[in-house]
Amino acid sequence: MPNSAIIFSGVRTRFAPSPTGFMHVGNLRTALYEYLLAKSMGGSFVLRIEDTDRERLVEGATDTIFQTLKCAGLIHDEGPDIGGPCGPYVQSERMHLYRPYAEQLVREGKAYYCFCTKERLDQLRLSSDNPDSAGYDRHCRTLSDDLVAEQLALNMPHVIRQKVPLEGVTTFFDHVYGEISVPNKDLEDQVLIKADGFPTYNFANIVDDHLMGITHVVRGSEYLSSTPKYNLLYQAFGWNIPEYVHLPLIQGKNPDGTVSKLSKRHGATGFEDLVAEGYLPEAIINYIALLGWCPKDNTQEVFSLEELVRAFSIDGISKSPATFDYDKLDWFNSEYIRAMDARAFYEHAAPYYRQLGVDEALSATLLEVLQPRITKFIEIPEKISYVKALPEYDLSLFEHKKSKSTIETSISMLGKLTDLLSDISEWNKDSLMSRLTALAESEGVKNALVMWPLRIAVTGTLVTPGGAVEALLLIGQKESLNRIEIARARLSIFNN
Query: Rule CB under 7 A: which of 185-244 touch RNA?
Result: 186, 188, 190-191, 194-196, 198, 200-202, 221-226
Q: Is the dihedral of CA 462, 463, 467, 473 positive or negative?
A: negative
Backbone Cα Rg of the chain: 33
Selected from 83, 183, 351, 391, the binder of RNA by CB under 7 A is 183
Over the window 257 to 296, marking each residue x when it contacts RNA by CB under 7 A and - when it does not, the resulting string is -xxxx----------------------------xxxxx--
Query: How many C-beta atoms lie closer than 10 Å to residue 467's C-beta?
Result: 17
Selected from 93, 150, 301, 485, the binder of RNA by CB under 7 A is 301
> 134 or 486: whose CB is closer to RNA?
134
Site for RNA in 382-401 (CB under 7 A): 400
> 4 or 117: whose CB is closer to RNA?
117
Close Cβ partners of 97 (under 8 Å, ≥ 6 residues apart): 2, 207, 211
> 375 or 492: whose CB is closer to RNA?
375
Selected from 60, 83, 85, 157, the binder of RNA by CB under 7 A is 157
Residue type, 167: E
Close Cβ partners of 427 (under 8 Å, ≥ 6 residues apart): 472, 473, 476, 477
Strand spans (E) along 226-282: 243-247, 250-253, 259-261
Over the window 103 to 142, marking each residue x when it contacts RNA by CB under 7 A and - when it does not, the resulting string is -------------xxx--x---x----x-xxxxx------
Selected from 465, 480, 484, 491, the binder of RNA by CB under 7 A is 465
Selected from 337, 451, 474, 491, the binder of RNA by CB under 7 A is 451
Over the window 44 to 63, marking each residue x when it contacts RNA by CB under 7 A and - when it does not, the resulting string is ------x-xx-xx-------
Q: What is the closest distance, in whole angstroms, from the C-beta atom of residue 228 to RNA in the complex?
A: 9
d(CA 483, CA 390): 8
Strand spans (E) along 66-148: 111-114
Q: What is the closest distance, in whole angstroms, from the C-beta atom of residue 9 to RNA in the complex?
A: 27
Q: What is the closest distance, in whole angstroms, from the C-beta atom of residue 194 to RNA in the complex?
A: 4
> 373 or 388: whose CB is closer to RNA?
373
Q: What is the closest distance, in whole angstroms, from the C-beta atom of residue 496 to RNA in the complex?
A: 29
User: Hey, which residues does 173 pair with through a beta bridge?
Assistant: 179
DSSP string, 321-370: -EE--HHHHHHHHHHHHHTS-HHHHHHHHHHHHHHTT--GGGHHHHHHHH
Binding segment toward RNA, per CB under 7 A, in 67-75, 97-105, 448-456, 476-484: 448-456
264 a catalytic residue: yes
| 463 lines the binding site for RNA (CB under 7 A) | yes
Do residues 462 and 394 make contact, with C-beta atoms less than 8 angstroms apart? no
Over the window 323 to 352, marking each residue x when it contacts RNA by CB under 7 A and - when it does not, the resulting string is x-x-xx-xx--x---x--------------
Q: What is the closest distance, in whole angstroms, from the C-beta atom of residue 68 to RNA in the complex?
A: 16
Residue type, 301: E
User: Hey, which residues does 47 pair with through a beta bridge?
Assistant: 15
Which of these is catalytic: 70, 264, 319, 416?
Answer: 264
Do residues 231 and 204 make contact, with C-beta atoms less than 8 angstroms apart? no
Site for RNA in 363-382 (CB under 7 A): 372-373
d(CA 204, CA 50): 8
| 175 lines the binding site for RNA (CB under 7 A) | no
Do residues 139 and 116 make contact, with C-beta atoms less than 8 angstroms apart? yes
> 260 or 418: whose CB is closer to RNA?
260
Q: What is the closest distance, in whole angstroms, from the C-beta atom of residue 280 to RNA in the complex?
A: 16
Close Cβ partners of 5 (under 8 Å, ≥ 6 residues apart): 210, 211, 212, 213, 239
Q: Residues with catalytic annotation?
A: 264
